[in-house]
Structure 1
Amino acid sequence: MLIAGRYELHTAIGRGAMGEVWAAYDQMLGRPVAVKVLRTENTDPTAESRFRLEAQTAGRLHHPHVVGVLDFGEHEGRLFLVMELVDGDSLSGVLSGDGPLPAERVALIAAQAAAGLAVAHEQGIVHRDIKPGNLLLDADGTVKIGDFGIARFMDDPSAALTATGQIVGTSLYIAPERALGKPAGPPSDVYSLGCVLYQLLTGKPPFRADTPIAILHQHLDAAPVPPRELGVALPPAFENYLLSLLAKRPEERPTARQTADWFGSGSWRGSAEPLPAAAPAPPPVPARPPVPRTETGPATTYKLPSAAGGAGHRAAHRQRTAAAVPRERTASGGRRGRPAPTGSRLDLRALLAQRPRVVGIAAATVLFVVAVFVGMALFSPDDSSAETPTETQQSGPADPTP
């Protein structure tokens, strides 16, 4: 079949309540395309307006993760929509064939799908029907969102439940606010994406029941079982973020842009807690400069001068005694005979104040020495020799026996 004189339909690749999708070929531009044709037997009075809405909304989006709209028209009373042909399967087909996917692959799908949704939300467009069948994978695994603007069920859930073949599939991914009859907004798409990611990881949607109404009640009241409790190997960071996408209140969910950035940055892997910063090394203590000390010199032991030493010996002894006084009593008041503590300084003024006392001590010492020598001269034996005093001291007194 040739539509609009250029689109040659080859194989039917999809069929829905409103239309059917064909793999086709654009003879004018020489490229493969997908053509969606509105079904003639469709009795929904809003079908044409919804079909046009899809063309108008998707036609405003140009993004690698959104199925591009190339043309729109009418042929023999039937509306048709020409789109980019995605040469691959949908996530619904992947789940049927491969089952649950590893966290690495699901994170990549999440980043790409959220990026496509973010562009739509920034254009004021809400998809309203995010589910595995509307997330397509091309030949290299890139995610592309299809079916923009097609409302699969009414905004009023009680009326939507009467639509056979539609609410059963869609109710698995419906946001709680939509189950309450509120209009869909960007957070609704984020919630639906969270349901899809949960199913990709576990193989099952977060909520299941025998009837669509029971499923809606679970979306409203039940908490999803954390995937790791179902045996899924998943980093804690990934699981926590996934559960935030499934928050009951729309304002508690991250935006599509935040979700795309978070998964795209690899934050889902989590990261080890940083080690505490090492304490800075204490600055080196500068070496204490040596304390200048008064050159008193070590204490010296002196021999008593002989009587023949004269005044020169006495003067030298007096000078040495005066020099040794600071060693015996320090300026800090230390006990006599003990050296001053290390690093102490002599108080020069205190030393000068003690000068008369030092002179008196030296004079008394000289008088004592003179008195000793006078006594020795007066009381020594007559026949002792002055030239050999040392011998006399060593041998004792002379024997008086001749």
Structure 2
Amino acid sequence: MGEVWRGFDETLDRPVAVKLLLPQDTDPTAASRFRLEAQTAGSFNHPHVVGVFDFGQHEDRLFLVMELVEGDSLARHLTTTGPLPAGQVAQIAAQAAAGLAAAHQQGIVHRDIKPANLLLDADGTLKIGDFGIARFVDDPAAALTTTGQIVGTSLYLAPERALGRPAEPACDVYALGCVIYQLLTGRPPFQADTAVAILHQHLDTAPVPPRQRGADIPAAFENYLLALLAKQPSDRPEAQQVADWFATGAWQGRSEPMPAPALWPGSVPSSGHNAPSTQLPYTTEAGPATTYALPSPAGHTRRSRASRRRGGSNIRTLAAHRPRVAGLVAAAVTFLAAMLAGVLWFSPGSSSAETPQTPTPGITSPTTTQEPAGSATVTPDPSSTASLPASIADHPEREPEQKQRGNKQGKHEEGEDD
């Protein structure tokens, strides 16, 4: 299309690049495309886009005065040095995506992102050049192409462009993904003997993961690069998102600290004060976050031993923390104690002589004293010892048997309390 010369701006006293349009006898749109490049690149200013300073015509030849980039294109870097390290590629990707984002915000689609159009200056800053076939998104006529003609380089052409659809910003993102892939592996994601075969691969073939081609990159880098090469435009991130992702170092895949596990509903906070604990938040819909202290295993062991020494106090300790459970336990113990008293009262060892069915003059009925929940003890009235039934008075040898049965009953009740 043209030649690029190193020049010098005598008015502003600075070196410049002068792009001179060559005669285009076979391309009647060449002059219009050249003017479009000047208008497009000159419509915005960005540190990662080659700036346009002037445009004119001399001796029937159009020229474009541009910012001079002291460096080589990425295409020449690949030829001389081969694949680049992941850190340098990430830096290039962030800068190229930032330049594309600035163009997209102006409604401009580059449509020809490739290594030859990405320049690196002396300090490693990337510049996007050659907006010669750029297209304004809101002006289809600005593409300057005939119906059905595909403009762009087939190695970096998005699938939707291969189908002849209008160019959108997502096309530039896809092309940038192809360039990044080539910078990492030394080859574009798709290659074939003909342009048509390459277009079919863009449409139907999944790219080989770059790490399988020898690229030394983190898994996060690879996954994000494959997202840039998604077949559907809606599945690709926007250019500004790509720039931010690479600029923040997310491509390194640094692991983030895992959040502390939340305490599940129904867990019981610890009542210990001396045992070391871990503060964990638990949030409910009814209120703000509540922090519980989970005891260490050592603290749990100390409390268990103390509970065993206290015997029956285990139930009371549990009841202090779980009122609902305590109520159920107390009710169950009371019920069992009542059944035990009934079994002992009506056991086969008792006879009508020992337990009269009807009140007898001179005999005092046993007195039942109220004990705390969980125990039931029947104690005879001390005054009844002088008025025992004749059956017991006549057979004093049965008294020890009754006392022994009472001792067994007391021991059984004590064990039940434990």
Shorter-normalised TM-score: what interval? 0.5 to 0.7
Residue 282 (structure 1) aligns with: 269
Counterpart CA distance in 1 for 2:159 and 2:215 is 25
Say whether residues 1:230 and 2:213 are aligned partners.
yes
Residue 30 (structure 1) aligns with: 13
Change (3 A) 1:218 1:156: farther
Change (3 A) 1:226 1:125: same
Q: Is the 8 A contact 1:58 1:149 kept in 2?
A: no
Aligned amino acid, residue 257 of structure 1: Q
Match of 1:253 among 218, 232, 236: 236
In structure 2, the residue corresponding to 1:257 is in which secondary structure?
A: helix
Say whether residues 1:206 and 2:189 are aligned partners.
yes
Backbone CA RMSD of aligned residues? 3.1
Q: Unaligned stretches of 5+ in structure 1?
A: 1-17, 162-166, 291-328, 338-353, 365-402
Residue 126 (structure 1) aligns with: 109
Change (3 A) 1:278 1:188: closer
Q: Is the 8 A contact 1:25 1:31 kept in 2?
A: yes
Say whether residues 1:110 and 2:97 are aligned partners.
no
Higher-Rg structure is 1
Counterpart CA distance in 1 for 2:202 and 2:257 is 38
What is the TM-score with the length of structure 1 in the denominator? Answer: 0.64
Residue 83 (structure 1) aligns with: 66
What is the 5 A alignment of 1:224-373? 224-272=207-255, 274-278=257-261, 282-285=269-272, 331-332=371-372, 335=377, 360=383
Aligned amino acid, residue 269 of structure 2: P
Residue 401 (structure 2) aligns with: none
Q: Unaligned stretches of 5+ in structure 2?
A: 136-142, 274-302, 304-312, 318-368, 388-418
Identity, % of aligned positions: 64
CA distances 1:41-60 after superposition (whole Å, capped 9, x unpaired): 55411111111101111001
Number of corresponding residues? 284
Say whether residues 1:175 and 2:175 are aligned partners.
no
Aligned amino acid, residue 9 of structure 2: D
In structure 2, the residue corresponding to 1:268 is in which secondary structure?
A: helix
In structure 2, the residue corresponding to 1:232 is in which secondary structure?
A: coil
CA distances 1:327-381 after superposition (whole Å, capped 9, x unpaired): xx874465589xxxxxxxxxxxxxxxx9xx56x47999xxxxxxxxxxxxxxxxx
Deviation (angstroms), 1:250: 1.4
Counterpart CA distance in 2 for 1:42 and 1:241 is 44
Aligned amino acid, residue 246 of structure 2: F
Q: Is the 8 A contact 1:187 1:250 kept in 2?
A: yes
Deviation (angstroms), 1:283: 3.7
CA distances 1:92-144 after superposition (whole Å, capped 9, x unpaired): 11101110011111111111000000000110101011000000001110111
Change (3 A) 1:27 1:123: same
Change (3 A) 1:156 1:363: farther
Residue 52 (structure 1) aligns with: 35
Counterpart CA distance in 2 for 1:67 and 1:205 is 24
In structure 2, the residue corresponding to 1:24 is in which secondary structure?
A: strand
Say whether residues 1:217 and 2:203 are aligned partners.
no
Deviation (angstroms), 1:149: 3.5
Say whether residues 1:40 and 2:23 are aligned partners.
yes
Change (3 A) 1:86 1:36: same
Residue 194 (structure 1) aligns with: 177
Change (3 A) 1:334 1:91: same
Q: Is the 8 A contact 1:157 1:181 kept in 2?
A: no
In structure 2, the residue corresponding to 1:183 is in which secondary structure?
A: coil
Match of 1:69 among 43, 47, 52: 52
Counterpart CA distance in 2 for 1:257 and 1:276 is 29
Residue 118 (structure 2) aligns with: 135
Larger mean CA deviation between 34-43 and 76-85 belongs to 34-43
Counterpart CA distance in 2 for 1:135 and 1:147 is 9
